[in-house]
């Protein structure tokens, strides 16, 4: 040891004159770093209650608790954080699909009550609510996949010359990849009128178990291939991944699974008690609601007969939807399943006169799902001229194989899916097509994708166009006269179109196709029964069992619901399936707490 070694340590005394290291501030004064992971904050309005934060939390520190009334796309639940469990990893923030959850940079909180350290951010007020700083979601880091696997479409140039399906469909690899994007929040289940078990079948697709997926799908939808191609997909509109990205392609995934199997009966594992043995049910109208009632009652042992006026079952999905969206083999496959289940199918048979009365006597219950077949009239001068046709008639004639002619130039009046169908069909028949719609394009009730597809195929859309009259031209064509409209506020919410007087536009066409909606036609019922079943406008009101004002007559589909889509019709069918069993005393009466659309399962 040298002298240096003895003296050197004393140099430490020099430090006595340097600035002290210790921070003189009070505890809690020092703010956390700008991205510090402190106490949670949540925007109650933006949060959709999907529970993905709770799902990813490896400490199970987050409970979803009821706070608001559930609405479509919002479960009404909000995350409650237990800080006895939280490890402050902020995965909940990074995964949050709506981007509502965040962390403040506040980290000091003293309370004598241990239970206080469980609170619902954004609901229970805290001093750090609205903190500017703290851990926030960052664009460059995403732990869920917001990009949808793109779906192949036929080239627009090519598809207007063919009736082949426009949508190509997912390959197996694409479907698995798309299914893996799901966070299984289940908001879609509540939004689906039939409450299909969507996360369950998506998980099965992801796991490569298509048979399981198909069985889950058939739990409460007997026409899933149709839904997989043309459903209005309310599910996708509430998908939590869709809040800040592309929603899951739920429809295309269902399409993928249902297309994989040709012989459904051999794949479906139906395991329900045949409680309906010896009972007879008549179904009038072979659309989605009638098919649903027939299938789910038939597998329960009921003897079901479907009466259909057209040569083929399917209702609007057969005669209305063009084959480039829902091809015939797909429909036939679903009808074959009905036959396999033992349903008797009578086609080309319109029920008339006293037949309904006789059916009521011969059957334990009757289900009516005849749909809306009577087109609304345009109410404009010249509507009865030859060449002015109704979209439903045109589509039906085309679908049942009649020769259809539309000429060179067509105008379609309307903005719903039927109008788009009529326009695209006319395009395929070789016509130049224009759609005239009263309101703006954003107001069109038609599916956005349908509108896009139509435009890609060369359909021109004129918004804010009010038809004034139709006149015959000298060379035998039609002069469609319309006036521009301006949008004015309306007390019913959405703006209303108002005709700008004095301006007239002319369009010379070969066909005017009217597609402004349709209504019910009850002329086939005996008047005394019709009176009990429907109101003066033809609408049918049903009770929680799906039963009309006439004992033993159940109804569903477009007649009953105001959403007029296939999946709502299927939901009505499901309600009637259970309602009929309750009516016949097979099932106990419905409890108040039970959902109106039953969650049924066949496995």
List Cβ neighbours of 353 (8 Å cut-off, separation of 6 or more): 526
Min dist. Cβ of residue 231 to other proteins (A): 23
Q: Does 182 bind other proteins (CB under 8 A)?
A: yes
Q: Does 593 bind other proteins (CB under 8 A)?
A: no
The stretch among 135-143, 212-220, 367-375, 447-455 that binds other proteins (CB under 8 A) is: 135-143
SS3 of 322-364: the string is: CCCCCCHHHHHHHHHHHHHCCCEEECCCCCCCCHHHHHHHHCC
Residue 581 burial by CB count (10 A; 0-12/13-18/19+): exposed, middle or buried?
buried
How far apart CA 82 and CA 204 sit, in angstroms, is: 32
> Residue 239 in contact with residue 265, Cβ under 8 Å?
no
> Residue 413 in contact with residue 419, Cβ under 8 Å?
yes
Q: Does 5 bind other proteins (CB under 8 A)?
A: yes
Min dist. Cβ of residue 42 to other proteins (A): 18
* 152-157: long-range pairs with CB below 8 Å, 24+: 153/453, 156/453, 156/456, 156/457, 156/458
> Residue 560 in contact with residue 547, Cβ under 8 Å?
no
The number of helix segments (H) and strand segments (E) in the chain equals 21, 21
Q: Contact with other proteins (CB under 8 A): which of 28, 72, 84, 138? A: 138
Min dist. Cβ of residue 560 to other proteins (A): 38
Q: Contact with other proteins (CB under 8 A): which of 21, 29, 403, 502? A: 21
Q: Does 88 bind other proteins (CB under 8 A)?
A: yes
Strand partners, 519: 374
Count of chain residues binding other proteins (CB under 8 A): 43
Min dist. Cβ of residue 203 to other proteins (A): 8
Q: Contact with other proteins (CB under 8 A): which of 28, 35, 473, 541? A: 35
The stretch among 28-36, 211-219, 508-516, 542-550 that binds other proteins (CB under 8 A) is: 28-36
Q: Contact with other proteins (CB under 8 A): which of 144, 154, 404, 499? A: 144
Min dist. Cβ of residue 31 to other proteins (A): 11
Q: Does 181 bind other proteins (CB under 8 A)?
A: yes
The stretch among 85-93, 253-261, 354-362, 472-480 that binds other proteins (CB under 8 A) is: 85-93
Main-chain dihedrals φ then ψ at residue 455, nearest 5 degrees: -65, -40
Site for other proteins in 151-180 (CB under 8 A): 180
Q: Does 135 bind other proteins (CB under 8 A)?
A: yes
The stretch among 88-96, 488-496, 508-516, 518-526 that binds other proteins (CB under 8 A) is: 88-96
- Per 3-state DSSP, the chain is made up of helix, strand and coil in percentages (nearest 5) of 30, 15, 50
Three-class secondary structure of residue 599 per DSSP: coil
Residues at the interface with other proteins (CB under 8 A): 1, 4-6, 8-9, 11-12, 14-15, 21, 32-37, 52, 55-56, 58, 87-91, 94-95, 103, 135, 138, 140-145, 180-184, 206
């Amino acid at each position: 040891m040298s002298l240096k070694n003895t003296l050197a340590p004393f140099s430490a005394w020099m430090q006595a004159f340097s600035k002290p290291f210790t921070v003189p501030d009070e505890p809690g004064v020092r703010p956390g770093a700008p991205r510090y992971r402190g106490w949670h904050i949540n925007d109650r309005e933006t949060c959709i209650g999907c529970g993905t934060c709770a799902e990813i939390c490896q400490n199970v520190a987050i409970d979803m608790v009821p706070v608001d009334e559930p609405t479509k796309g919002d479960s009404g639940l909000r995350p409650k954080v237990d800080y006895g469990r939280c490890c402050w990893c902020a995965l909940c923030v990074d995964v949050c699909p709506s981007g509502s959850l965040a962390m403040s940079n506040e980290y000091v909180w003293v309370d004598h009550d241990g239970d206080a350290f469980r609170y619902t951010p954004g609901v229970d007020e805290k001093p750090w609510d609205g903190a500017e700083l703290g851990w926030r979601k960052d664009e460059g880091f995403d732990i869920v996949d917001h990009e949808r696997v793109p779906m192949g479409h036929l080239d627009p140039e090519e598809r207007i010359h063919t009736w082949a399906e426009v949508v190509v469909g997912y390959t197996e690899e694409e479907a698995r990849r798309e299914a893996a994007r799901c966070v299984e929040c289940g908001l879609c289940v509540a939004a689906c009128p039939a409450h299909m078990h969507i996360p369950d079948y998506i998980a099965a697709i992801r796991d490569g178990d298509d048979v399981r997926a198909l069985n889950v799908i058939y739990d409460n939808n007997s026409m899933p291939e149709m839904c997989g191609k043309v459903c209005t997909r309310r599910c996708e509109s509430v998908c939590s991944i869709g809040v800040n990205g592309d929603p899951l392609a739920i429809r295309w995934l269902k399409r993928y699974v249902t297309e994989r199997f040709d012989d459904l009966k051999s794949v479906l594992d139906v395991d329900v008690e045949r409680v309906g043995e010896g009972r007879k049910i008549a179904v009038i109208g072979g659309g989605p609601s009638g098919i649903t009632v027939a299938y789910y009652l038939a597998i329960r042992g009921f003897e079901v007969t479907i009466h259909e006026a057209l040569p083929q079952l399917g209702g609007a999905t057969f005669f209305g939807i063009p084959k480039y969206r829902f091809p015939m083999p797909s429909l036939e496959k679903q009808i074959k399943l009905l036959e396999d289940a033992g349903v008797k199918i009578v086609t080309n048979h319109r029920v008339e006169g006293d037949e309904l009365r006789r059916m009521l006597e011969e059957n334990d219950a009757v289900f009516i799902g005849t749909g809306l077949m009577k087109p609304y009239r345009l109410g404009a001068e010249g509507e009865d001229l030859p060449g002015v046709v109704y979209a439903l008639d045109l589509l039906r004639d085309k679908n049942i194989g009649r020769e259809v002619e539309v000429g060179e130039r067509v105008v379609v009046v309307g903005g719903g899916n039927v109008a788009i169908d009529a326009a695209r069909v006319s395009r395929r028949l070789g016509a130049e097509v224009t759609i005239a719609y009263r309101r703006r394009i954003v107001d069109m009730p038609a599916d956005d994708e349908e509108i896009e597809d139509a435009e890609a195929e060369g359909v021109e859309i004129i918004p804010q166009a009010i038809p004034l009259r139709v006149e015959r031209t000298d060379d035998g064509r039609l002069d469609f006269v319309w006036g521009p409209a301006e949008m004015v506020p309306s007390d019913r919410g959405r703006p209303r179109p108002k005709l700008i007087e004095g301006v007239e536009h002319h369009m010379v066409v070969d066909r005017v196709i009217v597609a402004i909606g349709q209504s019910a036609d009850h002329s086939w019922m005996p008047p005394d029964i019709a009176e009990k079943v429907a109101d003066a406008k033809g609408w049918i009101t049903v009770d929680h069992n799906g039963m009309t004002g006439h004992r033993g007559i159940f109804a569903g589909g477009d007649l009953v619901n105001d959403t007029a889509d296939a999946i709502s019709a299927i939901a009505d069918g499901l309600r009637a399936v259970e309602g009929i069993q309750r009516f016949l005393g097979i099932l106990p009466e419905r409890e108040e707490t039970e959902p109106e659309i039953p969650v049924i399962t066949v496995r």
